[in-house]
Chain A
Amino acid sequence: AQSVTQLGSHVSVSEGALVLLRCNYSSSVPPYLFWYVQYPNQGLQLLLKYTSAATLVKGINGFEAEFKKSETSFHLTKPSAHMSDAAEYFCAVSPSTGGFKTIFGAGTRLFVKA
């Protein structure tokens, strides 16, 4: 069975600092991996996804993530945080070989300090 763990329910960074949100997955075969963001009072929207092409994936708003099979990780980074990045971020995993069930992590709330 697949699972996903997000380390840290809350992360606080200063504006301009590096953003690092951690995600580890468990799967018998490399799955599809996603990062979604939820801004206050809005629905979830896709930031980026990994589907077995390049291991370094670039997304919207300057975010990127690297798939590391040896570490079963898919951490999300952004070199310089903006106030507008404050939101809830969810890592998700979907099966790459049969099945339709997308599993979401518990989420990490990002706070950006001025």
Chain B
Amino acid sequence: GAGVSQSPRYKVAKRGQDVALRCDPISGHVSLFWYQQALGQGPEFLTYFQNEAQLDKSGLPSDRFFAERPEGSVSTLKIQRTQKEDSAVYLCASSPAGGPVNEQFFGPGTRLTVL
């Protein structure tokens, strides 16, 4: 079966541009997580959705970051007015049930480079 997919796999943006990163979770998975992974670091939590509800957005670094999952499946992470420090790999993960106890299935990530 299909795993978690993310698009685009690579994105180059000029500073100040807006970007949108897409995540297609495994069909039927309730939970969806977004992470930011800087080079040489572990994934850093950004936000969590349970179905269409965004239950935790405490990790979003600024109000330039916005995430949505309007129908409880596909999710989009939007970054407005990108800055160089936004350069990182953005990971999406989904989980079959609600809450943080279950295994998370990760996508391959989107590598964002801001010039």
Residues of A within 8 A of B (CB): 9, 32, 34, 36, 42-46, 49, 51, 90, 92, 94-96, 99-107
Contacts and interface: CB of A to CB of B under 8 A. Distances in A.
29 contacts: A34-B103, A42-B108, A43-B3, A44-B93, A45-B105, A45-B106, A46-B103, A51-B101, A90-B42, A92-B42, A94-B100, A94-B101, A95-B100, A96-B101, A100-B33, A100-B56, A101-B100, A102-B33, A102-B100, A102-B104, A103-B45, A104-B35, A104-B42, A104-B43, A104-B44, A106-B42, A107-B40, A107-B41, A107-B42
Given A32-B101, A44-B43, A94-B100, A100 B106 contact: no
Interface string B80-100: 000000000001010000011
Interface of B: 3-4, 31, 33, 35, 40-45, 48, 50, 55-56, 58-59, 91, 93, 99-101, 103-109
